[in-house]
Chain A
Amino acid sequence: EPEVTQTPSHQVTQMGQEVILRCVPISNHLYFYWYRQILGQKVEFLVSFYNNEISEKSEIFDDQFSVERPDGSNFTLKIRSTKLEDSAMYFCASNLEDRMAGEGYGYTFGSGTRLTVV
C-alpha cells in the first residue's frame, strides 16, 4: 500500500533556529497538507497545497511558516526562528480528490516528525 513518508522522524533544535521538515506524498495524489499535534492534544490543520500554491492556511500558519514543493516528489514545511511552543508532532498528509465529480478519497497521513525545540 502506498505511503506518505516523512523525514526526519525526530528533530531537536535550538530555539531561534530554522528547521525544514520533509515529506514525500503519494505519487498520484494532488492535494498536500501539514497538520500539527501538540502532545496530548488534537490534530490541528496548518496548511493545504494544490497546484503549486497554498489553497488554505490556518491562523497558526503565520509568517514564521512556509511550504514548498521544490521538485516533483518532495513537500517541505519550513519553520523559521523556532519557539518552544512549536514543539509538536508534525504530520504531512496527501489525498486524491476529484472535485469535478465531487468525490474525495481518504487522507493518507505520514508517520510524523516529532519536533522538539529546546
Chain B
Amino acid sequence: GENVEQHPSTLSVQEGDSAVIKCTYSDSASNYFPWYKQELGKRPQLIIDIRSNVGEKKDQRIAVTLNKTAKHFSLHITETQPEDSAVYFCAVSSNDYKLSFGAGTTVTVRA
C-alpha cells in the first residue's frame, strides 16, 4: 500500500513567521494530494489540495507545492497566526480514491 511520510512531527513558530511541512509518498500512480487541518476533538478540515497536473497552488496565506519526480509535496503557511495552531495531515490518493494519511504535524504558533 501507499506509504506517506510526514515531517516534522512538531513545529513551533513565532507568530508572523512561516511554517513548512513536507510529505513524501511511495506510489508513483498517486494523483491527488490534500492537506487537512484538525483541531482537538474535531474532524479533519480540507484546507488546500493539489492534483498531479499542477506544480503549485496558493490560497491566501496557504500554498502547496508538488514535485512528482521526487514524490514529495509541501504545505507552506505564511504570516502565521495563533489560530493556525492545530495538527496538520497530508494525504495521498490515486484512482482508487481512498486517502492514505501522513502521521501529522502539530503546529504551535507562539504569540
Chain A positions near chain B (C-beta within 8 angstroms): 31, 33, 35, 41-45, 48, 55-56, 58, 91, 95, 97, 99, 104, 106-107, 109-112
Least distance between A88 CB and chain B CB atoms (Å): 13
Chain A residues with Cβ below 8 Å from B97 are 31, 48, 95, 97, 104
The 26 listed contacts between A and B (C-beta, < 8 Å) are: A33-B98, A35-B99, A42-B89, A42-B101, A42-B103, A43-B36, A43-B89, A43-B91, A43-B99, A44-B101, A45-B99, A48-B98, A55-B96, A56-B96, A56-B98, A91-B44, A97-B97, A99-B95, A106-B34, A106-B46, A106-B49, A107-B34, A109-B43, A109-B44, A111-B42, A112-B42
List residues of chain B with CB within 8 A of the CB of A99. 95
List, in ascending order, chain B residues with CB within 8 A of A58's CB: 1
Q: Which A residues are in CB contact (< 8 Å) with B99?
A: 35, 43, 45, 107
Q: Chain A's nearest CB lies how many Å from the CB of B41?
A: 8
Residues of B within 8 Å of A107, CB to CB, are 34, 46, 99
Q: Mark B10-32, 1 if CB is under 8 A from A, else 0.
A: 00000000000000000000001
Q: A43-B44, A99-B95, A104-B32 are in contact. List 20 more A-B contacts (CB 8 A).
A: A33-B98, A41-B103, A42-B89, A42-B101, A42-B102, A42-B104, A43-B89, A43-B101, A44-B101, A45-B100, A56-B98, A97-B97, A104-B93, A106-B34, A107-B34, A109-B43, A109-B44, A109-B45, A110-B43, A111-B42
Residues in A with CB closer than 8 Å to B104 are: 42
**B100 surroundings in chain A (CB, below 8 A):** 45
Residues of A within 8 A of B34 (CB): 106-107
Chain B's closest residue to A3 (CB) is B43
**Which B positions have Cβ atoms within 8 angstroms of A?**
1, 32, 34, 36, 42-46, 49, 89, 91, 93, 95-104
Closest-by-CB residue of B relative to A47 is B98
A109 / chain B contacts, CB cutoff of 8 Å: 43-45
Chain B residues near A95 (CB-CB < 8 A): 97
Q: Give the docked Cα–Cα distance between A104 and B93 (Å).
A: 10
